[in-house]
Amino acid sequence: MKRGNRELDSRRYDLLLRRRVNLTTVYLMPSRTRTKSNVPQNEPLRWNVEVGGRELGLANATLRKALNKSGAIPDEHGCFSTRQLIAAVFGAIDLEKLRTQEQITRKYQLDNAIVEASVVRKDELMKVLGAVADAMTSRIRASELSRHAQDDLLRDIAGIPLSVTDVARRQSRLPARRNGNGDGEQ
């Protein structure tokens, strides 16, 4: 037999008085009964743009723009979930965290590659190769090879910087760099 909350509450009160319990500590403790609310208990909240904007303190146009930018799709009644509103206004924080972790991982990989000496600075390498090429060029010109053979060897040596640049471009995971004047040539 169910009894009303008021009757149970008064019986509990009488019982507590008989036991001389401090009533302030008892009534400050949370009860097991649900508090009254205008929010549905078994369904997630859905928001239209006007109410969502008012709740978040945004103009309707601002919220609508953020929802469109984030790609949020309303339900059949034109309402959005709380998660969609929050993601549209504050961004997808989980994706930002993932992007940050990827950048940190990449930084550590580059730092490790430098420490392990598996990365060589291209400008330093080109200086060394230039000095070697100059020495080889002077020796080739002073040799007894035919003029045609000397020119072939010098042409091969001149192609080394292009080969190094090509290898660096293939090894790079970065997008191809432009020449800086905006015409898109590489």
Mean pLDDT over each residue of the chain, to the nearest integer: 78
Per the model's pLDDT, the better-predicted residue between 1 and 82 turns out to be: 82
CA-CA distance, 105 to 89, in Å (whole number)? 28
- From the CB of residue 2, how many other CB atoms can be counted at a distance below 10 Å? 6
* pLDDT band for position 62 (cuts 50, 70, 90): very high
Q: Which tokens belong to 45?
A: 């909240």
**Using 50, 70 and 90 to split pLDDT, how confident is the model at 182?**
very low
The pLDDT, as a whole number, for residue 177 is 62
pTM, whole model, 2 decimals? 0.36
Local structure of residue 36 (DSSP, 8 states): P
Q: What share of the chain is helix, strand, coil (3-state, %, to 5)?
A: 60, 0, 35
Over residues 104-163, the pLDDT tens digits come to 999 998 888 777 777 777 888 888 888 888 888 889 889 898 999 989 988 888 888 888
Q: What is the pLDDT of residue 32?
A: 60
Say how far apart CA 162 and CA 155 lie, in whole Å. Answer: 12
pLDDT higher than 50, residue 97: yes
The C-alpha angle 75, 81, 85, rounded to 5 degrees, equals 115
CA distance 59 to 3: 48
- Going by pLDDT thresholds of 50, 70 and 90, the confidence category of residue 1 is very low
Q: Report residue 90's pLDDT band, with 50, 70 and 90 as the boundaries.
A: confident
**36-58 confidence digits (pLDDT tens):** 777 777 888 889 999 999 998 99
* Residue extents of the structural domains in the chain: 46-91, 120-172
